[in-house]
Amino acid sequence: MVSAPAKAERKSAHPKLQGLWKQRYLQLMVIPGIIWMFIFNYIPMVGIVIGFKNFKITKSIWEAPWVGFEHFAAFFQDESFGNIMVNTLGIALLKLLICFPLPILFAILLNELRSVKFKRVVQTISYLPHFLSWVVLGGIMITWLSDVGMINEILVGAGILKEPITFLAEPKYFWGLAVISDLWKEMGWSAIIYLAAISGIDQSMYEAATVDGANKIQKIWNITLPAIRGTIAIMFILAVSGIMNSNFDQIFILKNVLNAPRSEVIDTYVYQMGMRVGRYSYATAIGLFKSVVSMILLVIANFTTSKLQGSSLF
Amino acid sequence: MAAATKNWRKQRTTGEIIFDVLIVILMCAICFITIYPIWYVIVNSFNDGADAMRGGIFWWPRVFSLENYKTVFKDSSILTAFGVTVLRTLVGTVLNVFFTAMVAYGLSKTRLIGRNFYLTMGIITMMFNGGLIPTFLLYKNLNLLDNFLVFVIPAMFSFYNAIIFMSFFREIPASLEESAEIDGANDFLIFLRIILPLSKPVLATIALFSGVYHWNDYFSGVIYINKPSLQPIQTYLYRMVAEAGSNQMAAQTADVVKSTTSMSLKLATMVVTTLPIVCVYPFLQKYFVKGMMIGAVKG
């Protein structure tokens, strides 16, 4: 394929270049991915500069005048700032408190089932909601929770409520609904990792504990939980670093004008300001603020878990 | 064997039996709660629209009707939206799986010059991103708005999936590749002819993740697409749901008959939208369980 003189010439070339030439096919497989990342990940990162400028859609980014931290200051002074932060953190912490431990409990209890067949059926069913889109789930919720919906039918019928409530129109129910629907959708799916970790535990430990007269709860507490500690720690780090990332797909569909006081989170606000109002620079600054806080949370969570427990992400 | 079983049964104390029974009851309850909302949608979608408006259909259609489904399959805008979704799922998944696998194969080789640089570049993308507005402006400049490619190109690669691929490729015995190398095959041919056929489990996992993303994504349709003919079905459904929601908020619906049909039509569309994916996932279960594990451990 390559002519003899060309080969000789290449031998005299720089050894590094020669090495590169030798693995040219390998490089050609990787480089498209690097170019893709450059365009679709890194150019938007550079685009963050508009958060420090006054960008107008009619002109280019470079023509826009610099304004420093003006947009950040404006966000902190915005009358909705407090509300947005409370909602973002409130929903996230509630989810961390409820949607984080329950899949662990579910996995442990599922593992206690005696019938392998039944266990498998429950597992398969528990993954089902993960494959539903938030649009479909949101549609079901809007239908059920409306004033003529099924929930009101039951509650009013049973005499628990005197008047039907349009649940999604009342801000005070929003956090609860967000947590419950998230739990419903993802509990089974999140349990996969813990189930896998549990299945890796040495069975002889349980047998030894049985001989020593340990009961089920003791076995779960003293064998299962310590064995999956590392997995829990890593999932915890990931969960904490995601605190600022509200589940946008979920909130976006459940949010409406009436429940906005308790449903507006950073992500929906960025969408509202950027795409609806057209304040591109302002929205970008808010997005950057969110990313920076997320990064700090990730580092803190990683540091704390590695100190307490010896497992860390990096 | 029988004696051993008997012996083991004897060892179960009353407390343990109660524990076992409680878990079974709990698991049955969880299954019920999981399935019922979906069952409710199915049952109501097979009921006459105007009749369903009276409520009270919990277990079985009261006035059985296929009218909702007939309407769905006659509605040209729904069919177009379905076409967009099917097309983007097929094209997007194939592109994503093949491209990510190819890049990941290269990255999995320690002899790759510049590997550390490439990997660092990838890891940064997992921790930090430009956010909604800079991404939107980029797509605008690339002429991706109102363009079918906006669904598939930006979703073509994911470093997270590349990591899953890489940890799978590393476990393939090097001897298989070496024999092909001796035969004069280059790295790309080795990847195509030897690695890909051996990687079916991980390909199935990533294809499922990618397929689910494409099938269920509604937001890119909301934000990047204005043309009705390019709307995916989830975006179409989102508009239906969001509009119905705001109608509800506006209190009393003026035209009852109209809103009933739109409600049952919505439910039928939901069923048709959800069915394909629900039919596929149980068969891929053993693959994605493995894929999730690798993703969690290495991610």
Interatomic CA distance for residues A291 and A297, integer angstroms: 10
Give me the helices (H) in B108-173, please.
115-127, 132-141, 149-152, 159-169
Q: What is the ipTM for the molecules in this complex?
A: 0.87
* Residue burial B101-111, b: 16+ Cβ < 10 Å; e: rest: bbbbbbbbbee
* CB proximity B38 to A under 8 Å: yes
For an interface test with B, the pick among A1, A30, A121 (most B C-beta atoms closer than 10 Å) comes out as A30
Are B105 and A29 an interchain contact pair (Cβ–Cβ within 8 Å)? yes
For residue B163, what is the domain's CATH number? 1.10.3720.10
Rounded Cα gap, residues A266 and B244, in angstroms: 25
Task: Please name the helix (run of DSSP H) or strand (run of DSSP E) that holds residue A254, with its range, or none.
Answer: helix A248-254
Amino acid B104: pLDDT: 96
**A56-74 CB burial, b ≥16 within 10 A, e <16:** eeeeebeebeebeebbbeb
Q: Distance (Å, rounded) from C-alpha B21 to C-alpha B6?
A: 19
Q: Exposed e or buried b for every residue in B57-77, given b needs 16+ CB within 10 A? A: beeebbeebebbbebbeeeee
Please state, in angstroms and rounded to a whole number, the distance separating the CA atoms of residues B82 and B237: 11
Asked whether residue B18 is assigned to any structural domain, the reply reads no
A151 touches chain B (CB under 8 A): no
Separation between Cα atoms, residue A160 and residue A162, nearest integer Å: 7
Within 8 A of A142 by CB-CB distance, chain B residues are 241, 244-245, 248
Which residues on A lie below 8 Å from B118 (Cβ)?
A: 30, 33-34
- Predicted model pTM: 0.88
Residue B42 lies in a domain: no
Residue B27, in any domain of the structure: no
Evaluate whether A30 touches B103 at the Cβ level (below 8 Å).
yes
Task: Give the separation between CA B6 and CA A210, rounded to whole angstroms.
Answer: 16
User: Residue B8's closest chain A neighbor by CA?
Assistant: A210
Q: Which residue of B has its CA nearest to A32?
A: B103
Residue B126 lies in a domain: yes
Measured between CB atoms, does A60 come within 8 Å of chain B? Answer: no
Helix (H, G, I), strand (E, B) or coil at A249: helix
Residue B19 is assigned to a structural domain of this protein: no
Residue B38 tokens read as 């979906």
CB B128 to CB A291 under 8 A? yes
* pLDDT per residue of chain B (299 residues) written in tens, 0 to 9: 444 444 554 567 788 888 889 999 999 999 999 999 999 999 999 988 888 877 778 899 988 888 889 888 888 999 999 999 999 999 999 999 999 999 999 999 999 999 999 999 999 998 888 889 999 999 999 999 999 999 999 999 999 999 989 988 988 888 888 888 788 788 999 999 899 999 988 899 899 999 999 999 999 999 999 999 999 999 999 988 877 655 554 444 444 444 446 788 889 999 999 998 888 899 888 888 877 776 655 44
Residue B192 lies in a domain: yes
Residues of chain A with Cβ-Cβ distance to B11 below 8 Å are: 210
Query: B148 in a domain, yes or no?
Result: yes
**Which residue has 């010059």 as its token pair?**
B113
In a domain, B43, yes or no: no
Quote the domain boundaries for residue B253. Answer: 70-298
The model's pLDDT over A133-151, given as tens digits with 9 standing for 90+, comes to: 999 999 999 888 988 888 8
Whole-number Å distance between alpha carbons of B266 and B276: 17
B24 Cβ contact partners less than 8 Å away, ≥ 6 residues apart = A113, A118
d(Cα A266, Cα A287) in Å, to the nearest integer? 8
Rounded to whole angstroms, the Cα distance separating A113 from A216 reads: 12
- Taking a contact as any Cβ pair under 8 Å apart, which residues of chain B between 182 and 221 contact chain A? 186-188, 191, 212, 215-219
| Residue-range domains of chain A with CATH | 4-52 (no CATH), 70-309 (1.10.3720.10)
B248 touches chain A (CB under 8 A): yes
Report the C-alpha gap between B130 and A288 in whole angstroms. Answer: 8
Structural domain count, chain B: 1
With cut-offs at 50, 70 and 90, classify the pLDDT of residue A313: low
